[in-house]
Amino acid sequence: MSESKGIELKGKDIVNQLAVMIRTGHFHTLENVAVENAIKRFLEIVNPLFHEEDYIRIDLIGEFFYINDTRIRYPIELLLNFDFLIREFRRRELGTISFVSPLKKEEVKEFLRCFLKAAFSNTPFETLEASLERIDSIQVEKLKQIKEDETIDKRKLVKKTYFNAVSFTRGVINKIRSGEKVSIKKAKRVIESVVDTLLAEESLLIGMTAIKDYDEYTYHHSVNVSILSIAIGQKIGLHRRALTELGLVALFHDIGKMEIPVEVLNKPTAFTEQEWKLVRRHPFWGARTILKLRGFDKTSIQSAIVAFEHHLHYDLSGYPKIRSRIPLDFYTKIVSIADQYDAMTSSRVYSRVPLPPDRALSVMMDRAGSQIDPILFKFFINMVGVYPVGSLVLLDSKEMGLVYECNPLLADRPRVMIIVDERGQRLKKGNVVDLTERDTEGKYLRSIVKTLDPNKYKINLAEYLL
Amino acid sequence: MVFPDEIKNFLQSLIKAKKNLHLYPDNNPIYIKTLDDLYNRLATLLDSQDDITLTFKQFDIFYNSELVYHNDDKQESLALFFFKDGVREISFKKGIPKEEFEDFMKIISSDFERELVDDDVVTLMWEKDFRFIQYVVDDTILLEDEGYEEMATKQVIASASSEDQILKAYEEAFGIQKAPTINIVPLTNEDLRNIVEQIENEPLDKSDKMLILLFEMLYLADGQAEFEEITDLIKSAIKYAVEHGNLKALIHTLKSIKEITDKKLFPEKLLIILKGVEYFCNSQIIIKSFGNVLDQGIEYDEDLIQELSQVMDSSAIPHFVNILGQLNNISSRRTIIRILSELGKKDIKLLARGMSDRRWYVVRNIIYVLRQIKDRTVMEFLTKALYHPDKRVKKEAIRAVGELGDSSAVQNLRDCLDDEDESVRINAVKAMGRIESPLSRKYLLEYINNSRFNEKSFTEKRELLLALSRYRDREVVETLTRMLKKRSLFKKTKLTETKAAAAFALGVMKEKSAYNLLKRFVNDKNTLLRENAQMAIKRLGDV
Ligand SMILES: [Fe+2]
Ligand SMILES: [Fe+2]
């Protein structure tokens, strides 16, 4: 009964060693001892598994590798190698490699030769497939394009998760207002479904966070910050339980705003000094509310810490002013990045003019190291890309569109939903294009030339997602 | 092909197993056997097909749409157990490893009423991320407001951009300046290491951090009412922290209060409120739960314990004394003794009052603490303890008096020489030896000259003569040599023992004049005497 376990455990080693082998192949000739060693090591991992398995199949689906249909989990230390291999697969439009019988050194070497060569072809996958025909033990399949009807189902799921979370948050805040008890069990379940959806459909769910300019901003903001925080947490390798905790904590970071009079909070004009004073108290109120309501346990303490610290900044230059020079809590660092980003890109926080997503990122970039933890921010920006989801962009094809899904490996080549075609016609049902698509000569079909401010024209990605 | 009856039986065993696993720890043979049996049954069922899928109704479980379980008892029903948290389907897949099945069984046999108030069965399964157990959950039980999604969707669409605006954006797009794009710095291995380190350094319990922030909140409080609210939170936080073994939190609190009070950082009436927090930190509740934590086996750094004992108030002393009698582990008692040895200095009289405790071991420990403190002011209490009915206390008291006492204590030690317990007498002899005074000498000599001295055990005689050997005067030497020379036809064995003890003492004294006398016994046929004489000669030779 332990067979399946064996291959599951080895999955990360196989993918990692495959990456090492290819990387080494990039730098050396295939006769080099470093390449030889990498191949040898690869065989040592793969071949013993044929005692128990008939075949070994590695699939790339979305952002994840699967081995014999089980998603491979790996420690964060291997992240760079995994990312590298995803890039190498995508570059060749390669979706699957199957090993159908034990491998010989010469076969792997030949595979490596073909694999490396294919990258220079205009039709890389076909080239690779043809050149591998002589090797019986290794088979490849092309990367699957996402089908339209699949995306519709996915969108439905994502939408459901998102609005369920918003509606739950609204319910919770109303309950707290009226002094009712809040069920943490339920809250956990809601966040767990957010985590699941994020793992399956990261870009779509992050796309939903574009919903901001809206009557119920407070609830959306809470959910958006929770989603973005979980996304960062996932990127840095937090385990499931920690992701739920992070998501919960993020969801309640602004709970203290409940005590700011609504007239002040939703004021269309700038705050007076007196009103600012009130607004600046929300971290204090937040921590107090959480502790008074929930008493003391691990989650409430973590939530209170984040609620209190989320405007404090990495260098403690924010508010409230404190006396101790204590380092910011790890969760606070994550939540405050998500918070700043969501707040800056929406118009409802403190009557500010919202920034377009890419502008918000560049403002945050200037703050990295002072107000923001620089390394976590690096993870964040690698996650959202140069053109975050929701950015309004003009393409060199004279089409205009909204960034729909970012590409973590090619930051300036996201998937874009076209809303105006090259003749200036508005498209009601956006068509999604992938900026990594190339013509037969290997030239990209479309590239981003300019970004516009979507808020200025009240263009919101969310309306296209629903 | 698996028949519904087989599933029925399997479910019955599962329910029995659920009870067993709940009752026994996971290293218990019954636990192990129960789990093994059940796992093997499941594995056998999965031999013939790829998965077994159960569907759940409120009180029923179905397999292939056949009813395989029904129970409408709200406490007992396995169906309801899953159904109420939204589980509608569970399937076990072929190849399920035992570890995964054990995790599953652990989850369903845990006590949901008490232990895990914050997690339901779905959360626990979700956290485990099972690979061979799949489940379908109906999330509508989580919905706050069913119509919300539709309403919100409409609202977003209603506020959607107009065609005019979109086309305006398109038009203007060609005229605007190209904004500089940001450079994305790729992640490095260094970054990954940094993050891994940050994650690994995340403490399990953050109540110390919480307390630092709560103290910050005191400064932000608006008015006395808010100040009081925060101090209440501080108290709860302290209680939580100590229950979770976080001593740093307690230390930080006490230090902060001291600083605030010393520097008068708040008006007097607020300082009084803070005094209440300090009082709470030193209260019985807190010290009791600290004791519980110790007994659970948590160990602390020396330095931390030292720091704690320095910041605590003397009012905590009686509570520490009290738990000293309640703790089960030696190492926890040792920690309390360490604390009292430091904290006790703040009010020795208060500490010494613990000696009237009814429990002998508490009294003995306190005497031990007093010995550590080395403060003579407690002699009065120690002297009293010399007459304690329990000989274990008595001995500890004698040791303490011997270390701390002066000649005034000798009179009381003398009384201990009459004790019927030999070990008490030996301790008293040693203590009298330590307190070198004419009176000690006098009593020791008297004891030797007592007609019953010869009857005592070799050890007692040796200890006594050893104590006496500290006085190197003629009378002592003569007494010892006289003993060594003594001959008798009666009670020969006892006499030989006395002689051996005398030889030993002369050796310790390095008494040259006894050389020839000792020499006589180096070949004695009595082993004890011979060896002691040889040892003494050797000692003399070293001079
Ligand atoms: Fe905030
Ligand atoms: Fe916020």
CB nearest to B166's CB, from A170, A324, A419 = A419
Q: From CA A117, how far away is CA B437, in angstroms rounded?
A: 100
pLDDT at A315: 94
Ligand nearest to the CA of A309: 1
CB nearest to A392's CB, from B43, B120, B169 = B169
Least confident of A51-60, A267-276, B26-35, B325-334: A267-276
CA of A309 to the centre of ligand 2 (A): 11
Out of A121, A142, A163, pick the residue that ends a domain. Answer: A142
Q: Is the pTM of this model over 0.80?
A: yes
- The mean pLDDT value for B515-529 works out to 85
For B190, residues 6+ apart whose C-beta sits below 8 A from its C-beta are: none
B123 contact residues in A (CB cutoff 8 A): 185, 188-189, 192, 244
If asked whether residues A132 and A198 sit together in one domain, one would say no
pLDDT at B463: 87
If asked whether residues A223 and A276 sit together in one domain, one would say yes
If asked whether residues A201 and A234 sit together in one domain, one would say yes
Residue B543 has pLDDT above 70, yes or no: no
CB-based burial label for B162 (10 Å; 0-12, 13-18, 19+): exposed
Q: Is residue B351 part of a domain?
A: no
Residue A67 has pLDDT above 80, yes or no: yes
B115 — phi, psi (to 5°)? -65, -45
Residue A205: other Cβ atoms inside 10 A: 26
Q: How far is CA A457 from CA A453, A454, B24, B138, B165, in A?
A: 7, 6, 66, 40, 5
Chain B: closest CA distance from residue A394 (Å): 7
Chain B: closest CA distance from residue A313 (Å): 15
- The mean pLDDT value for A349-377 works out to 84
Q: Dump pLDDT digits (tens) for A142-199.
A: 887 666 566 677 788 888 899 899 989 988 888 888 878 778 888 999 999 999 999 8
Which residues constitute the domain of residue A449?
A: 392-465
- The residue of B118, B171, B183 whose CB has the most chain A CBs within 10 angstroms, and thus the best one to mutate to test that interface, is B118
If asked whether residues A366 and A397 sit together in one domain, one would say no
B126 contact residues in A (CB cutoff 8 A): 192, 240
Residue with tokens 């249909």: A69
Interface contacts (A, B; CB < 8 Å): 238
Q: Is residue B422 part of a domain?
A: no
If asked whether residues A376 and A413 sit together in one domain, one would say no
Q: B192, A79: Cβ pair inside 8 Å? A: yes
Out of B95, B117, B138, pick the residue that ends a domain. Answer: B138
Q: A216, B152: Cβ pair inside 8 Å? A: yes
Nearest to B159 by CA among B170, B148, B151, B169: B151
pLDDT at A4: 45
Out of B103, B138, B173, pick the residue that ends a domain. Answer: B138
Residue B145 has pLDDT above 80, yes or no: no
Please provide the distance, in angstroms rounded to a whole number, between the alpha carbons at the two ends of chain A. 45
Q: Dump pLDDT digits (tens) for B275-294.
A: 999 999 999 999 999 999 99
* Reported confidence tier of residue B230, pLDDT bands at 50, 70, 90: very high
Q: Dump pLDDT digits (tens) for B376-390.
A: 788 888 888 888 888
Ligand nearest to the CA of A257: 1
Quick one: closest CA in A to B126, which residue? A192
Which residues constitute the domain of residue B69?
A: 4-138
CA of A227 to the centre of ligand 2 (A): 13
Residue A455 has pLDDT above 80, yes or no: no
If asked whether residues A229 and A258 sit together in one domain, one would say yes
Q: Is residue B65 part of a domain?
A: yes
Question: Is the N-terminal amide bond of A454 cis, ω within 30° of 0?
Answer: no
Q: A394, B172: Cβ pair inside 8 Å? A: no
Q: Is residue B429 part of a domain?
A: no
pLDDT at A348: 57
If asked whether residues A259 and A353 sit together in one domain, one would say yes
- The mean pLDDT value for B244-269 works out to 94
Q: A457, B229: Cβ pair inside 8 Å? A: no
> Total domain count for chain B?
2
Q: From CA B462, how far away is CA A258, in angstroms rounded?
A: 83
If asked whether residues A168 and A295 sit together in one domain, one would say yes
CA of A307 to the centre of ligand 1 (A): 8
Q: A167, B120: Cβ pair inside 8 Å? A: no
CB nearest to B184's CB, from A4, A309, A386 = A386
Q: How far is CA A58 from CA A17, A64, A201, in A?
A: 13, 10, 20
Q: Is residue B115 part of a domain?
A: yes
Q: Is residue B426 part of a domain?
A: no
Q: Dump pLDDT digits (tens) for B413-435.
A: 888 888 888 888 888 888 888 88
- CATH number of the domain at B502, please: 1.25.10.10
Residue with tokens 């003995």: B364
Q: From CA A349, how far away is CA B228, in angstroms rounded?
A: 32
Out of A338, A360, A384, pick the residue that ends a domain. Answer: A384
Q: A375, B191: Cβ pair inside 8 Å? A: yes
Q: From CA A181, how far away is CA A206, in angstroms rounded?
A: 30
pLDDT at A214: 59
> Total domain count for chain A?
3
Q: Is residue B21 part of a domain?
A: yes
Chain B: closest CA distance from residue A369 (Å): 14
If asked whether residues A321 and A196 sit together in one domain, one would say yes
Q: List, in sequence order, every beta strand (DSSP E) within B292-449.
A: none
- The mean pLDDT value for B301-305 works out to 93
Q: Is residue B84 part of a domain?
A: yes
B199 contact residues in A (CB cutoff 8 A): 236-238, 330
Residue B509: other Cβ atoms inside 10 A: 22
Q: From CA B424, how far away is CA B395, in angstroms rounded?
A: 6
- The mean pLDDT value for A272-277 works out to 89
* Reported confidence tier of residue A3, pLDDT bands at 50, 70, 90: very low
CB nearest to B217's CB, from A284, A302, A379 = A284
Nearest to A343 by CA among A379, A367, A374: A367
If asked whether residues A162 and A192 sit together in one domain, one would say yes
Q: B159, A420: Cβ pair inside 8 Å? A: no
Task: Tell me the residue type at A310.
Answer: H
B187 contact residues in A (CB cutoff 8 A): 79-80, 378-379, 382
Residue B111 has pLDDT above 80, yes or no: no
Out of A350, A384, A418, pick the residue that ends a domain. Answer: A384
A240 contact residues in B (CB cutoff 8 A): 126-127, 129
Out of B138, B155, B189, pick the residue that ends a domain. Answer: B138
Q: A292, B229: Cβ pair inside 8 Å? A: yes
- CATH number of the domain at A159, please: 1.10.3210.10
Q: B199, A237: Cβ pair inside 8 Å? A: yes
pLDDT at B105: 92
pLDDT at B117: 63
B181 contact residues in A (CB cutoff 8 A): 358, 386, 412
CA of A345 to the centre of ligand 2 (A): 12
To the nearest whole number, what is the mean pLDDT of chain A? 87
CB nearest to A451's CB, from B179, B194, B239 = B179
To the nearest whole number, what is the mean pLDDT of chain B? 87
Q: Dump pLDDT digits (tens) for B72-91.
A: 888 888 999 899 888 999 99
CA of A348 to the centre of ligand 1 (A): 12
If asked whether residues A42 and A130 sit together in one domain, one would say yes
If asked whether residues A369 and A396 sit together in one domain, one would say no
Residue B475: other Cβ atoms inside 10 A: 11
Q: Dump pLDDT digits (tens) for B456-484.
A: 888 888 888 888 888 888 888 888 888 88
B107 — phi, psi (to 5°)? -65, -50
Give SS3 for B312.
Answer: coil
For B478, residues 6+ apart whose C-beta sits below 8 A from its C-beta are: none
